[in-house]
Amino acid sequence: MNHDNSAHSQAQLLGVGRPRDWNDNFVQPSLVPIAPVQLKVSTVNRPKPDDYFKDWKEREALAEAMIPMIGRLNREKNIGIYMYGRSLVNRSVIDIMKSHRFVRQVESNELSEFESFPILEAVCAMNLGPAHIDLGKITVAYMKEGGPMEQGVSAADFVAQELSGLVGSNEKPLPESQDVVLYGFGRIGRLVARLLVEKAGSGDVMRLRAIVVRKGKSPNDLVKRASLLRRDSVHGSFKGTIRVDEENESLVLNGNEVKVIYANSPSEVDYTEYGINNAIIVDNTGVWRDEDGLGQHIACNGASKVILTAPGKGNIKNIVYGINNGDIKPEDKILSAASCTTNAIVPVLKSMMDGFGVKHGHVETVHAYTNDQNLIDNYHKGDRRGRSAALNMVITETGAAKAVAKALPELAGKLTGNAIRVPTPNVSMAILNLQLEKETTAEEVNAHMREAALHSRLQQQIDYTNSPEVVSTDFVGSRHASVFDSEATIVDGKSAVLYCWYDNEFGYSCQVLRCLEDMAGVNYNMYPKA
């Protein structure tokens, strides 16, 4: 939010930069009481600050002070702090400030650190159990026109009321920590590893315990595996430290010891030998996609369930998180997280079905090349895939259109699909050409998708952009299944053409992790309550 001069003193009143105890009370000197910032949300335009630079520096100091507070909540209490669905855990000062700026898209007005900081302080001062807390939504609820702040309710009292169900709670997301093993350590395996380490928190929910790979020909195989995890040409460097423990054949990732198990097949592995029990195996190889093949994992000592990071065959449930994860049952031993493209298009199709109805359609994916293709022309069993991936657009097939029916049975037989592989290493696009049940306009479609992206239960799956300048690299690292490009929408009566970007590596890995948590039975209390 923009602020008048009275708001500029808030950083000094908050005592940014001074030592803090666990409850985030300032040690020296004592905390100065903070008067509520008298601003309304969503219905008024803020006055511009007299000095943009001073305003920025004060907000920057507040964001900097938030980092250890958010970190301790996550590390010691298993509390995740979010800003309208965007995690603030392990984020930089600039990331936190950009997350505040993002609220402008959601609430048609801005939210600044001046408003959210006192709310976060109140959260830190409470004895709370594990939960996911949306700092942005609670702050906006407190500040809304005619709301608690204008009624004279203090930030601390409002937060205490909002989080009353969490006070003194000992309810854990899981009764005991869930062991996870990555079988295969390629593009998806390494990204899922990054996510598991990032979300380790206090370590009593999910722990990455091992990776299983074939022994490489290099004598320093372990070092090479670590190097591939440490540096990534697309996704940048690993956020943290990696120690190679060759004596124990382990990688230590931000303090998490991960055994590297060498095996040519699941039958060679006994996980109990490594102290691993009841593990969920994440198969990233795609070598086995049916129940018989994936069942080899469950037959191993110490393994209990398996999730496949590719479309499953036969009767295996193909789960698109956010759509049909309700189909996951405690007794399920084998699941598939479907494909990156299926995850990208199903949430958008579901939203369009709910808003406008879908008679039939065609899905064309413009997909980044993958390791399955040849770098230069060479023999390949698939049509056209033998031609150089770095030099050609390659027409190929996609099973995503047919796979949609496994998550959305209502669309069975209504979609066709094809794919074009293009010379980019990551980020793809799905073009949905749909015939709708009722006439509409591009403005109505965009408004509907914006609502779905910002306020619906598909908030984690669908993101939204209205920028006319975005290109594929802008979406590297997106944690959503897809990003709806509103500027490209074409609608003519009942005909609609929609463009959806998706990080086919990282965005998909986030969906895999969500499925993994669901399969493990992870259940966090969510605040504010819907």
What is the separation, in whole angstroms, between the first and last Cα of the chain? 25
Dist CA 117 CA 30 (whole Å): 17
Dist CA 16 CA 98 (whole Å): 19
Question: Cα–Cα distances in Å, from 300 out to 295, 442, 477?
Answer: 9, 53, 34
**Cβ–Cβ < 8 Å for 1, 110:** yes
Dist CA 348 CA 461 (whole Å): 9
Spell out the domains of the chain, with CATH numbers in brackets: 5-166 (no CATH), 178-310 (3.40.50.720), 340-504 (3.30.360.10)
Residues 6 or more apart whose Cβ sits within 8 Å of residue 509: 188, 191, 192, 195
Per-residue pLDDT, 38: 35
Question: Cα–Cα distances in Å, from 209 out to 75, 199, 301, 522?
Answer: 18, 14, 15, 17
Dist CA 479 CA 39 (whole Å): 32
500 counts as catalytic: no
CA-angle at 341, arms to 339 and 342, nearest 5° = 65
Per-residue pLDDT, 104: 83
**Cβ–Cβ < 8 Å for 371, 187:** yes
Percent composition of the chain: helix, strand, coil (DSSP 3-state, to 5): 35, 25, 40
**Cβ–Cβ < 8 Å for 446, 517:** no
Name residue 309's amino acid. Answer: T
Q: Would you state the structure tokens that stand for residue 270, as one six-digit string? A: 């006994």
The structure tokens 């009942």 sit at: 494
**Cβ–Cβ < 8 Å for 191, 478:** no
Per-residue pLDDT, 46: 59
Active-site pick, 340, 500, 510, 515: 340
Q: CA Rg, the chain, in Å? A: 24
Per-residue pLDDT, 482: 97
HSE at residue 111, side-chain half, CA atoms within 13 A, is: 31
**Helix H or strand E encompassing 338:** none
Dist CA 159 CA 98 (whole Å): 23
Walking along the chain (530 residues) 10 residues at a time, the average pLDDT comes out as 40 39 34 34 58 94 97 92 93 96 82 95 94 95 88 94 90 88 97 94 88 90 96 96 95 96 95 96 94 95 96 94 95 96 97 97 96 93 92 91 91 94 97 98 97 91 95 96 97 98 98 96 87
